[in-house]
Amino acid sequence: MSFRKSLDKLFIKRKSDSVSEIPFSKPRMIKCPYCFEEFSHENVHFKAISIMSPDIGGFDTGDDKFKKDRKSLDNFEGKETESSEDDFGITEDEMDPFGSSEGKSENLSERDYARLFGEKQDPLFKKFWDSYSNELSWEYANYPVITGKDPRMMKGSYQRDGDDMVVAVTDHYGKKTTERICPFCHNPLPANYGKYPVHFIATVGITDSGKTVYLSQLLKGMDEYMGNVKMASVEMSSAVSDFLQNHPVKKDVLLPKGNQPRLLNPPLFYAILTEGAGHTLVFYDVAGEDCTNEKEMNRYGPFIKNADGIIMILDPKQFIQINRSGDEKSHPKTVLEAMYNAFLGQGKTGVKSEIPLALALSKSDELEKTNLFPSNSNIFKDIDYSKSNFGFDLEQYRNLAGEVRRFLDGNFQGKAVLNVADRFFSRTGFFAFSALNCDVIEEKKIINGQSIPVSKPAAHPIPRRIEEPLYWMLSEFGILQKIEPQPR
């Protein structure tokens, strides 16, 4: 059975289901994966999927009545206003989002409803994306907003699933929508987001560290990697497939470049299903340099501040090449210090962050070409799944982590990273992986009149140990069991 095709069956519990269902206690507070504001599932907004032409019967969108109605509608953002009564004479008591709206709405004409259901720019959505050079490609971005406080927009009340979680609403025209949005920034919330514990994972790496290639390969193999430890993975939105399409890693195809200035890759959502439990993972692609620039910190800092775990990708060349000059802002040590000082230290001197930090050397296949490790090094071995323990194998991990730590301790740049990690973080893991594990062809390409170095895999990439940092992270979250070595 395809897990992706079984999303509803796995997540939407029905009263007739057996006791083997994924347990669900009570709908919890939701933290928006974009703006990180918290709110109850009962306070979500929706995007209507009905869209009407505002010029029905010669109606002019510029007349004063239309402007007044639209202004009043925009005030329904779920926030308190100075007045207890809105422009339509509806009091706060009457605006119960979960009571029936029947009999509460005004006697509006169809032309009036066309005003309310006309397509227009969403100011909250636009405000969020104005900070970045791109905007989320989403077909409902400018569709009308339905809130529980405006009974004219919907029929009946908010609709709940078998777990009593608000999941849908029917608009005035009888069309049911499940397009939930954050009430603060109006970005979309994937189906079932907030139903189970959410874990934010920031993937950080400086230019040319291989971060984007790592993410692409990790996500592409997620079903296999989770299956290896008896878990199932489900893509919760189209963001994952869009990311993989925009960042392909294939033979004879140019490798994806890193983050463009001021660009925000949308969050990448996965549901991880274990026996008897469900979890939501949200991955973020963050450029390390953006954590050391004050202006960029305002844009990208929240994705570090709110992270439940950080995977930091380290390019081995930074520790092999003896280069004491260069841009200090691009050094991993500088990035770690900036992240801790700005967000993770809780404003207290000497307090270590409890957020798990995975330090992962990328491009481990290139280390095979050096004499820094013996040919039988654990760094060059795949994870052994033959033991069938279906957890995080601590013996294999410790053998690898020891070698990685000794490598970092053997040069001044690596020692600087270790000193910061040991001083500022209480939970640090050490890893090495190869996202390609094959030779690459390097060439130059003329882009916008400039000669830019590019590379592409010379063979079909076969990643090595790419899943191990995530396994460790899941074990730190308490999702994946840690397996101690058996006595010999």
Three-class HEC string of the chain:
CCCHHHHHHHHCCCCCCCCCCCCCCCCCCEECCCCCCEECHHHCEEECCCCECCCHHHCCCCCHHHHHHHHHHHCCCCCCCCCCECCCCCECHHHCCCCCCCCCCCCCCHHHHHHHCECCCCHHHHHHHCCCCCCCCCCCCCCCEECCCCHHHEEEEEEECCCCCEEEEEECCCCEECCEECCCCCCECCCCCCCCCEEEEEEEECCCCCHHHHHHHHHHCHHHHHHHCCCEEEECCCHHHHHHHHCCCCCCCCCCCCCCCCCCCCCEEEEEEECCEEEEEEEEEEEHHHHCCHHHHHHHHHHHHCCCEEEEEECCHHHHCCCCCCCHHHCHHHHHHHHHHHHHCCCCCCCCECCCEEEEECCHHHHCCCCCCCCCCHHHCCCCCCCCCCCEEHHHHHHHHHHHHHHHHCCHHHHHHHHHHHHHECCEEEEECECCCCCEEEEEEEECCEEEEEEEECCCCCCECCCHHHHHHHHHCCCCCEECCCCC
Tokens of 337: 């210090």
- Residues 337-344 have a mean pLDDT of 74
Write the pLDDT tens digit of every residue in 47-70: 999 988 766 543 333 344 434 444
**75 pLDDT above the threshold of 60:** no
The reported pLDDT for the residue numbered 203 is 94
pTM for the complete prediction?
0.83
- Lowest mean pLDDT segment, chosen from 66-80, 113-127, 199-213: 66-80
Domains along the sequence of the chain with CATH: 34-181 (no CATH), 198-483 (3.40.50.300)
**103 pLDDT above the threshold of 50:** no
d(C-alpha 172, C-alpha 43), whole Å: 19
| pLDDT tier at 45, thresholds 50, 70, 90 | very high
- Lowest mean pLDDT segment, chosen from 144-153, 208-217, 320-329: 320-329
| pLDDT tier at 106, thresholds 50, 70, 90 | low
Write the pLDDT tens digit of every residue in 434-455: 999 999 999 888 877 888 888 9
d(C-alpha 476, C-alpha 91), whole Å: 48
Query: Which residue has better confidence, 393 or 275?
Result: 393
The reported pLDDT for the residue numbered 188 is 97
**102 pLDDT above the threshold of 60:** no
* CA dist list (Å): 126 to 142, 148, 153: 9, 22, 22
Q: Please, what is the Cα angle at 353 between 405 and 351, to 5 degrees?
A: 110
d(C-alpha 55, C-alpha 57), whole Å: 6
Tokens of 247: 């960042």
Write the pLDDT tens digit of every residue in 8-26: 444 443 333 333 344 454 5
The reported pLDDT for the residue numbered 447 is 75
Q: At CB < 8 A and 24+ separation, what contacts does 130-135 make?
A: 131/262, 131/264, 131/298, 131/299, 132/262, 132/263, 132/264, 132/299, 133/260, 133/261, 133/262, 133/263, 134/263, 134/264
**262 pLDDT above the threshold of 50:** yes
The reported pLDDT for the residue numbered 133 is 85
| pLDDT tier at 346, thresholds 50, 70, 90 | low
| pLDDT tier at 219, thresholds 50, 70, 90 | very high
- Residues 77-85 have a mean pLDDT of 36
The reported pLDDT for the residue numbered 18 is 33
Task: Sort strands 482-483 and 392-393 into parallel, antiparallel or unpaired.
Answer: parallel
**324 pLDDT above the threshold of 80:** no
The reported pLDDT for the residue numbered 348 is 60
| pLDDT tier at 343, thresholds 50, 70, 90 | low
Residues 6+ apart with CB under 8 A from 313: 203, 204, 205, 209, 210, 211, 214, 360, 362
The reported pLDDT for the residue numbered 7 is 46
The reported pLDDT for the residue numbered 20 is 36
**78 pLDDT above the threshold of 90:** no
Average pLDDT, the chain: 81
Write the pLDDT tens digit of every residue in 354-390: 999 999 999 999 998 888 999 999 999 999 998 767 8
**115 pLDDT above the threshold of 90:** no
| pLDDT tier at 253, thresholds 50, 70, 90 | very high
- Residues 259-288 have a mean pLDDT of 89
